[in-house]
């Protein structure tokens, strides 16, 4: 009877659109109440220990830096450079948009922020040059998801916190899959563009030179972040601080298009995001403790043992589970629940934790593009004022390119595991 009440309460929370932290928290505390013999102090201590991680501080800083740039001049200067560099090609604006997403992803760490920053400018530009709506819509929506595979990546930070993986190695390991995915997306865009009589932007060497000089502040940003981490100058959190301060200084003192009030409003929004993430992580820690106390990972391994014949089979089953979970959860929520659940089994099969983290990220990147809860699909539908079904259809071919990258990384881990040998 008590379990029925818990399930009924959970169903009501889901159907009424309650926040994720409320759903997870209610479920976790109710389950602890049912099993009993658990001290409240131990639960609160787990919650505190989980959020008391320095790497978490980097999340609002990356979000803040990305928001400052997307609302200021840095993103616009970056896009002007992409237009000058690729606009002369047939389909070049699509390539430029994807390339701009790659660079901006190396700053923001967020998929929706990348999509908003680049898409709000490049999508109308492609339509002005007679690009078909499906090509413009699909390429922008899919390439925005590069924000979580190209470092710095917020989901990678969460994966590191939940599993103990080295976040610096995760960041560096994400570079190759991110670049490979971007190349696949560009190639597909050029193939599709050949079918249409697209307008091009005349190439101008003086314009390219001018655009390059004006975009230097934007190009320095990913070098400061990724170069500093890779060079061992500072850690992930310190890199986020450097990026945030750099973005403020460039927008306020160099471009002088943003005001102190604009920066303050952006900071406020970032703090709200961080507060939400903190609560979700804390509630997920309670749920994870319940799973461990009830030995759920071992039970899962026992159930899967009949299907798993080795490490590769485990990885394929994990990918299938993540793709299914990605249909209904965002990447952060899925990592909070699935990473602790699958990690013990991954260790049983000697799966490299860095390899596993990149697989997690790529699989859940696809979740941003799959209904019914694909975040990027909803962002594109709202920002570009397009029907949700049309966005899904336009994005599908590009989503398959990300899936191809996932398969390559799964079967050829050597392309990223050189990081773990350093």
Q: How many whole angstroms separate alpha carbon 291 and alpha carbon 287?
A: 6
DSSP 121-135: HHHHHHHHTT--HHH
Q: How many whole angstroms separate alpha carbon 326 and alpha carbon 406?
A: 14
Res 220: pLDDT: 86
**89 and 21 housed in the same domain:** no
Res 300: pLDDT: 67
The answer to whether the CB of 393 falls within 8 A of the CB of 134 is yes
Q: Is residue 117 part of a domain?
A: yes
**139 and 15 housed in the same domain:** no
Residues spanned by the domain of 356: 54-421
**10 and 91 housed in the same domain:** no
**317 and 375 housed in the same domain:** yes
Least confident among 158-167, 180-189, 278-287 = 278-287
Q: Does a cis peptide bond (omega within 30 degrees of 0) precede residue 331? A: no
Q: Which residues, 6+ apart, have CB-to-CB distance to 355 below 8 Å?
A: 173, 409, 413, 416, 417, 420
**224 and 308 housed in the same domain:** yes
The answer to whether the CB of 300 falls within 8 A of the CB of 341 is yes
The answer to whether the CB of 255 falls within 8 A of the CB of 221 is no
Most confident of 155-159, 301-305, 397-401: 397-401
Domain count, the chain: 2
The structure tokens listed for 69 are: 């740039």
pTM of this structure: 0.79
Res 21: pLDDT: 66
Which whole number is the average pLDDT over 276-295?
Answer: 72
Which whole number is the average pLDDT over 86-93?
Answer: 85
**22 and 95 housed in the same domain:** no
Cα dihedral sign for 84, 146, 234, 53?
positive
**15 and 134 housed in the same domain:** no
The answer to whether the CB of 395 falls within 8 A of the CB of 366 is no
Q: Is residue 95 part of a domain?
A: yes
**197 and 82 housed in the same domain:** yes
**154 and 241 housed in the same domain:** yes
DSSP 8-30: HHHHHHHHTT--HHHHHHHHHHH
The structure tokens listed for 104 are: 């901006």
Between 333 and 407, the more confident residue is 407
The structure tokens listed for 400 are: 């398959």
Which whole number is the average pLDDT over 71-80?
Answer: 80
* Averaged pLDDT score across all residues of the chain: 82
Res 20: pLDDT: 61
In 3D, which of 408, 370, 359, 395 has the Cα closest to residue 143? 395
**196 and 113 housed in the same domain:** yes
Return the residue matching tokens 């099993």. 35
**31 and 118 housed in the same domain:** no
Which whole number is the average pLDDT over 236-246?
Answer: 85
Which whole number is the average pLDDT over 398-416?
Answer: 93
Return the residue matching tokens 């929004």. 269
**103 and 25 housed in the same domain:** no
Q: What share of the chain is helix, strand, coil (3-state, %, to 5)?
A: 80, 0, 20
Q: Does a cis peptide bond (omega within 30 degrees of 0) precede residue 152? A: yes
Q: Is residue 43 part of a domain?
A: no
């Amino acid at each position: 009877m008590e379990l029925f009440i818990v399930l009924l309460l959970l169903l009501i929370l889901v159907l009424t659109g309650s926040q994720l932290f409320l759903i997870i928290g209610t479920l976790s505390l109710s389950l602890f109440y049912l099993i009993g013999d658990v001290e409240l102090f131990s639960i609160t201590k787990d919650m505190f220990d989980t959020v008391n991680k320095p790497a978490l501080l980097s999340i609002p800083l990356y979000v803040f830096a990305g928001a400052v740039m997307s609302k200021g001049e840095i993103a616009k200067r970056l896009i002007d450079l992409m237009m000058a560099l690729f606009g002369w090609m047939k389909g070049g604006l699509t390539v430029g948009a994807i390339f701009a997403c790659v660079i901006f992803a190396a700053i923001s760490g967020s998929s929706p922020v990348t999509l908003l920053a680049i898409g709000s400018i490049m999508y109308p530009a492609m339509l002005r040059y007679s690009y078909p709506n499906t090509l413009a819509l699909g390429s922008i929506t899919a390439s925005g998801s590069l924000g979580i595979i190209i470092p710095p990546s917020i989901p990678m930070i969460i994966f590191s916190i939940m599993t103990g993986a080295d976040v610096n190695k995760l960041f560096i390991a994400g570079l190759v899959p991110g670049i490979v995915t971007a190349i696949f997306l560009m190639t597909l865009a050029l193939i599709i563009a050949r079918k249409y009589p697209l307008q091009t932007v005349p190439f101008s060497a003086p314009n390219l030179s001018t655009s390059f000089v004006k975009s230097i502040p934007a190009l320095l940003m990913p070098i400061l972040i990724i170069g500093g981490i890779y060079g061992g100058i500072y850690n992930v959190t310190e890199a986020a601080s450097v990026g945030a301060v750099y973005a403020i200084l460039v927008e306020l003192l160099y471009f002088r298009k943003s005001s102190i009030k604009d920066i303050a409003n952006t900071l406020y929004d970032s703090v709200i995001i961080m507060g939400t993430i903190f609560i979700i992580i804390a509630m997920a820690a309670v749920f994870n403790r319940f799973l461990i106390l009830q030995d759920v990972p071992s039970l899962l391994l026992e159930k899967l043992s009949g299907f798993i014949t080795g490490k590769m089979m485990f990885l394929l089953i994990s990918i299938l589970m993540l793709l299914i979970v990605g249909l209904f959860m965002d990447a952060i929520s899925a990592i909070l629940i699935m990473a602790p659940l699958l990690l013990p089994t991954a260790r049983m099969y000697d799966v490299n934790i860095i390899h596993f983290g990149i697989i997690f990220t790529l699989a859940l990147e696809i979740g941003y593009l799959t209904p019914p809860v694909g975040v990027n699909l909803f962002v594109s539908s709202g920002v570009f004022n397009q029907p949700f079904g049309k966005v899904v259809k336009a994005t599908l071919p590009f989503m398959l390119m990300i899936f191809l990258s996932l398969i390559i990384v799964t079967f050829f881990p050597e392309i990223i595991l050189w990081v773990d040998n350093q």
